[in-house]
Amino acid sequence: MWCQICEQGNVIPAVIKQLKQKVWLCDECEATWFRLEDVNKEKALLYVTYMKSKNLPPLWDELELLD
Ligand SMILES: [Zn+2]
């Protein structure tokens, strides 16, 4: 799915392994949504910001990509 925030990236489904939290995030700008129906509609969170708020390292290694 095309990211309308950066207009360069692809929004992909993933699970944050340590939280078992499903997310959709852009592989370019790292905009993050928690529900598929919110992607490109609701305001996005940044992956880095969300991970920091959970005291987790904001690395792609923390994700299990579902695509
Ligand atoms: Zn993007």
Q: How far is the CA of 23 from the centre of ligand 1 (A)?
A: 14
- pTM of structure: 0.93
Taking only the tens place, the pLDDT of each residue in 9-65 is 999 999 999 999 999 999 999 999 999 999 999 999 999 999 999 999 999 999 999
Which residues sit with Cβ closer than 5 angstroms to ligand 1, an ion? Answer: 3, 5-6, 9, 26, 28-29, 31
Contact 21, 9 (CB under 8 A): no
Q: How far is the CA of 2 from the centre of ligand 1 (A)?
A: 8
Instruction: pLDDT band for 67, please (50, 70, 90 cuts).
Output: confident
Q: How far is the CA of 34 from the centre of ligand 1 (A)?
A: 15
Q: Could you state, in order of their start, the residue ranges of all structural domains in the chain?
A: 11-65
